[in-house]
A and B are shown apart, each in its own frame.
Chain A
């Protein structure tokens, strides 16, 4: 810092930022936020849902929803210009050219009815007075810089013709084509598979190094943070908790909240031993599911969502199926409860094949399902009591008895029975997932299927729900089929693990074997792609095992 000429320039400076509801509520949504981002630097804003991290980034972009949120105090300086005070026209000029944004959902961030090339071209049309040939050349160059193959074809493609990773590359190309000074990335890899995530993170870093772009990376995932951050800003409930260098925050966080947040990141080291002696609750033999029409002798459109899948779940065992999107893990789960009819193979529940039974009512009593999104899996117009009792009453239980059972189960998942009269919207995401678990457990099933049941939850809540699964397994001896894409989660909870890729099981074994000594190249790739494999978050130090 002694040499002024070579000192990095401050690109973004957020000073005493305050964002209020319109009209102002009792407490500002975001208050007293201070941080700076230098040229070529990556600053991660980390926080759980409701921490105000996204609101902060939208404020920097000048994209707070009009009429409901507004900056009411402080300054946001972009290269010294206070963007909270510039005119609407100047703000539009700054967007894309000065500050650009990459969003969380590549699936929905692109206009579905426009070719992606034209969508990138639009940025140039708005901000540059170039001929269409110049623009086209620039777009194709940019597509190559984000390492897309066959750029001519990609230019003409619609978003739905591209994969999630390719779409995110398009969004990045769109954001960086004007070489903005600042890139805001709001959870840009959260919706992507780990291997894709790794590529996208590398790409952002590469482009950043070329252009000396300042990057603000908003995320909830400490794994990602530890890989990319130069500095970290921790937020909680609209306030800035702590800022510091990446090393400092990960190894020696000063604030209790930061400590809790960092240590909630599940470890990659498997915790649970194998279970071998108990009887098999679920035995899946040669299960296949084929989508697409057979007919007129054509087989071109057949999709093998699951192909010859074998695995077992024993009483008291938690078996994880891990795999990326499209691996067929959810198809298998849906076949096990017969939400989907298997094309081939047997699904033995307590020794009875349910693959082709017509008595689904009996199947559903033994097997229960917990879905990914607790916000949408509970009927918003039914009280908790109604949701919990419905299954029991369907199977002929008297109302009073069902009510008692429901109350009992709620206490098992850590909620007081007093909340039975409330509606789902009155609960937080974690509480809703507890209710969804209670709804499944109240049926006293032999097998519980949890399909990405903790993926939508914040890490601290995730840790609690994982503990809950473990407690329930110990107390009831239930067998659990646990579907997840997250190796860290699988390591915390599973006794045995099945790895799936493109509809096939590529590796299966005890959690310890699969995660610590993976045999199949795909499993090895997955483990290598998991963010921060070398950091033990619980103990704030590099891990020794990996």
Chain B
């Protein structure tokens, strides 16, 4: 097990290196000049040239790449080209809101989706199953921002139960923190509920045809006991897989949700950085997301062995 974890961590190194190189090249090859963005429309060509020189943009591409990689290795992620603040600070400031939103979303998704999926599997082909499945198509296909604005309209504007927008950190008190996260987390969780419920349903149905389910029935278990005691545990591996994938997809989802609900998180940071061609920030955030993703994959693999004793590393 220890060897496995070590191997997986080591194998993350080349992955992250390649992510870094690709991110760097894609950004440099895409149109747009950060110097123009910073200097503004009234800058003279001389001013622009000087600015470029100062920012290191006149160096050959490879030199820029190696300078940047060297800085990362020494823990220096650079300063924002736009605001001049250290990127590490910017990310640290924005990390809390995004982490809170993601975790709450994920909890809602899992807690709602697994029972829905199991019920749909149990009632396969009947009305309840069809309702759940129809709902899941809807939840997966309606864009997050539409769900978000609709929920703001109903629950914040009309009913006035929740604040319209904004974010308060946990240090300002749990009530303040929680009440502002409900709407964004619920609207963001829709597609994940749909996705996870579907996977749960399919896998539970598949498992219910296995021989050991017949054995369980032959013991005199109730259908509920069979589902909970024997079917769900055996369907766990694909369910965990899809939850892992969902976490990766969440990273894309938060960008939109944070904009809709005006939450100062990493998603907003990326959006602003992209619009401003703030290379150092974009690169660092993408590297951070990749690291998280590699780590989640490792956790998912380790969880497999927790749920299925046949899997050992």
Contact = CB atoms under 8 A, between A and B. Distances in A.
B219 A63 contact: no
B219 A112 contact: no
B310 A126 contact: no
Interface string B206-235: 000011101111111110010001100110
A103 B214 contact: yes
Contacts of A112: 212, 234, 308-310
Interface in A163-220: 171, 174-175
A159 to B, nearest CB: 9
B307 interface: yes
A171 B215 contact: yes
B218 A113 contact: no
B217 A108 contact: no
Interface in A55-103: 61, 63, 92-97, 100-101, 103
B220 A93 contact: yes
B237 to A, nearest CB: 9
A122 B211 contact: no
A105 B214 CA distance: 12
A174 B216 CA distance: 10
A174 B219 contact: yes
A122 B219 contact: yes
Contacts of A110: 212, 215
A94 B218 CA distance: 9
Given A111-B234, A114-B233, A103 B217 contact: no
Given A112-B308, A113-B234, A158-B309, A123 B215 contact: no
Contact of A92 (B211, B220, B308): B220
Given A63-B214, A105-B211, A110-B212, A123 B308 contact: no
Contacts of A111: 212, 215-216, 230, 233-234
Interface of B (DSSP majority class): helix
Contacts of A61: 218
Given A111-B230, A112-B212, A101 B218 contact: yes
Contacts of A109: 211-212, 214-215
A100 B218 contact: yes
Q: Which of B210, B214, B218, B234 has the largest count of A CB atoms less than 10 A from its CB?
A: B218
A58 B287 CA distance: 58
A63 B217 contact: yes
A516 B44 CA distance: 104
A147 to B, nearest CB: 21
Interface residues on B, range: 20 to 34
Given A112-B308, A113-B233, A95 B220 contact: yes
Nearest to B211: A108
Nearest to A118: B229
A468 B209 CA distance: 36
Contacts of B219: 95-96, 122-123, 126, 174
B211 A96 contact: no
A127 B215 CA distance: 15
A160 interface: yes
B212 A96 contact: no
Contacts of A171: 215
Interface in A411-461: none
Interface in A257-283: none
A113 B309 contact: yes
Nearest to B237: A113
B58 to A, nearest CB: 50
A63 B308 CA distance: 28
Contacts of A127: 220
Contact of B220 (A97, A103, A114): A97
A59 to B, nearest CB: 13
Contacts of A92: 220-222
A493 B231 CA distance: 45
Contacts of A100: 218
28 contacts: A61-B218, A63-B217, A93-B220, A94-B220, A95-B217, A95-B218, A96-B220, A97-B220, A100-B218, A103-B214, A108-B210, A108-B211, A110-B212, A111-B212, A111-B233, A111-B234, A112-B212, A113-B234, A113-B307, A113-B309, A113-B310, A122-B229, A123-B219, A126-B221, A127-B220, A160-B309, A160-B310, A174-B215
Interface of B: 210-212, 214-222, 225, 229-230, 233-234, 236, 307-310
Given A110-B215, A122-B221, 13 more contacts: A63-B214, A92-B220, A95-B218, A96-B218, A96-B219, A108-B211, A108-B212, A109-B215, A111-B216, A111-B233, A112-B308, A113-B233, A123-B220
